[in-house]
Amino acid sequence: MYRYERQYVGPLQAIIMDWAGTTVDFGSMAPIRAFQALFASHGVPISEQEAREPMGVEKREHIRQLCAMPRIQSAWLDAKNSATTQDDIDSMYDEFVPLQIAAIAETAVLIPGLLDTLAWANNKGINVGANTGYADIMIEGLLERAASQGYTPDSNVCATQVPKGRPYPYMAMMNAIELGVENLCACVKIDDTLTGIDEGLNAGMWTIGVAISGNEVGMSMDDWNSLNEAKQSELRLKAHQRFRSAGAHYVVDTIADVVPVLESIELRLASGEKP
């Protein structure tokens, strides 16, 4: 057990990671496919950029925020001759669930470098948590497929299991409780969305933004690798700046780059620094 100290100088106790775009599904494509299919089925096509705007929040809230966007509001009114209601949002969420489950099943491939990060954490005795804006009913297949590839987090929390999802800190805090964390400042939240960074900051944790593999760039691995170096540099810089502006303590390209950062955080903890 860690003894409580006013100034914590102990080791890193836990890392808590998002799912899509951070540990699986390079480009965070599954939610986008599902949201676009959902709105198209109602005669209101939405762009990938629109679909990504609220990424990281709980999915019913994501639908609500999409419906509140002026362009989508106007298109819905044209298609339906009425504004969206709460009943519409609830009905769309019910339609969304099977679309999301199917999309997750198609994209649940571990992002390269995750297993090396997990091995490092295991060797250090650091617990690993996961959380997500997905509902618990959406992720059974994801958990099974991730496990078959070597990833089973010690704790997993979905947005539907807490009073409020991101940017509220409740999911990360529930992870910390389940992992037996004694000092929140000894935890790191790793996420590919700005709202996920807000979650970690609001929980009093260190935060690492994942710039390339997730929502900020929003490209599959094949599409990213097909870009020339100049275009990659342009997109990388923009994504890194967005995370820095959101208050992330560190920003990396993908989960493959986090171990040196985690080692840096350990040194800062040892010297008494806090997030």
Inside any domain, residue 155? yes
Coil, strand, or helix at residue 23? coil
What residue has token string 């502006």? Answer: 245
The answer, yes or no, to whether residue 85 has pLDDT greater than 80, is yes
Query: For 32-72, how does the pLDDT look when each residue is reduced to its tens digit (9 = 90+)?
Result: 999 999 999 999 999 999 999 999 999 999 999 999 999 99
Q: Which H or E run contains 158? A: strand 155-158
Across 27-36, average pLDDT: 94
Across 161-187, average pLDDT: 97
Query: For 124-170, how does the pLDDT look when each residue is reduced to its tens digit (9 = 90+)?
Result: 999 999 999 999 999 989 999 999 999 999 999 999 999 999 999 99
- The answer on 165 and 261 residing in a single domain is yes
- The answer on 236 and 142 residing in a single domain is yes
Residue 256 belongs to a domain with what CATH number?
3.40.50.1000
59 is catalytic: yes
- Residue where a domain stops, chosen among 75, 107, 139: 107
Across 180-191, average pLDDT: 97
- The answer on 35 and 121 residing in a single domain is no
- The answer on 220 and 119 residing in a single domain is yes
- Residue where a domain stops, chosen among 107, 135, 153: 107
Indicate the pLDDT class of residue 2, thresholds 50, 70 and 90: very low
Across 76-95, average pLDDT: 96
Across 84-104, average pLDDT: 95
Inside any domain, residue 3? no
For residue 112 the two structure tokens come to: 């390269």
Inside any domain, residue 5? no
The answer, yes or no, to whether residue 3 has pLDDT greater than 80, is no
Across 103-113, average pLDDT: 94
Inside any domain, residue 131? yes
- The answer on 115 and 94 residing in a single domain is no
Domain that holds residue 76: 30-107
Q: How many domains does the chain have?
A: 2
Inside any domain, residue 6? no
Report pLDDT for 7. 82
Query: For 11-26, how does the pLDDT look when each residue is reduced to its tens digit (9 = 90+)?
Result: 999 999 999 999 999 9
The answer, yes or no, to whether residue 6 has pLDDT greater than 90, is no
Cβ 115 vs Cβ 78: under 8 Å: no
Average per-residue pLDDT for the chain: 95
Inside any domain, residue 183? yes
Report pLDDT for 105. 87
Report pLDDT for 114. 98
- The answer on 230 and 176 residing in a single domain is yes
Across 201-206, average pLDDT: 98
- The answer on 180 and 91 residing in a single domain is no
For residue 29, which of 208, 224, 167, 200 has the smallest C-alpha distance? Answer: 224
The span from the CA of 175 to the CA of 177, in Å, is 5
Cβ 103 vs Cβ 34: under 8 Å: yes
The answer, yes or no, to whether residue 172 has pLDDT greater than 90, is yes
Residue 100 belongs to a domain with what CATH number?
1.10.150.240
- The answer on 171 and 47 residing in a single domain is no
- The answer on 126 and 90 residing in a single domain is no
